[in-house]
């Protein structure tokens, strides 16, 4: 596939991966998402001082990891769902104009689920890190 982002079932406005820089199917990924400031939810989070929500940073990491899962032929045609999260830390505010670098390393995958370690950064500063659980469901 020429554009691995298209492996995701997500579409705008709920896709938080713009580009993939490195992809090792079933192993890991480095991807990017630029916060434009046009995201509708930023109007209310917070008026006059938009902050990109930490939960959306987690979603961006999960989507990036989902690409690494779906690129592995063992999981082609599956629907990777966000099944859980552990050890979450938010370390830096993300604002419009920032570009999130999303790094996810898949730790252990089975036919039904697996874990990954994710880290989001802006200009080298960690904004969010967590362990992510991917649950593999049949695609509709």
Helices (H), 13-120: 54-70
User: Distance between CA 78 and CA 112 in Å, rounded?
Assistant: 10
Reply yes or no on whether 10 is catalytic.
Answer: no
Give the residue from 64, 58, 63, 70 showing the smallest Cα distance to 94: 58
Marked catalytic residue, from 45, 74, 89, 91: 45
User: What is the Cα gyration radius of the chain?
Assistant: 14
Q: How many residues does the chain have?
A: 140
User: Distance between CA 137 and CA 3 in Å, rounded?
Assistant: 23
> Which residues are marked as active site?
45
């Amino acid at each position: 596939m020429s554009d691995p982002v298209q492996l995701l079932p997500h579409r705008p406005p709920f896709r938080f991966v713009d580009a993939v820089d490195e992809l090792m199917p079933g192993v890991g990924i480095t991807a990017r998402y630029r916060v434009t400031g046009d995201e509708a939810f930023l109007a209310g989070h917070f008026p006059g001082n938009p902050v990109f929500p930490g939960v959306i940073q987690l979603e961006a990491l999960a989507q990036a990891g989902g690409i690494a899962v779906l690129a592995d032929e063992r999981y082609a045609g599956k629907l990777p769902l966000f099944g859980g999260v552990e050890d979450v830390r938010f370390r830096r505010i993300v604002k419009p104009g920032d570009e999130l670098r999303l790094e996810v390393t898949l730790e252990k995958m089975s036919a039904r689920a697996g874990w990954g370690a994710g880290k989001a950064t802006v200009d080298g500063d960690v904004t969010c890190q967590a362990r992510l659980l991917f649950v593999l469901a049949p695609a509709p």
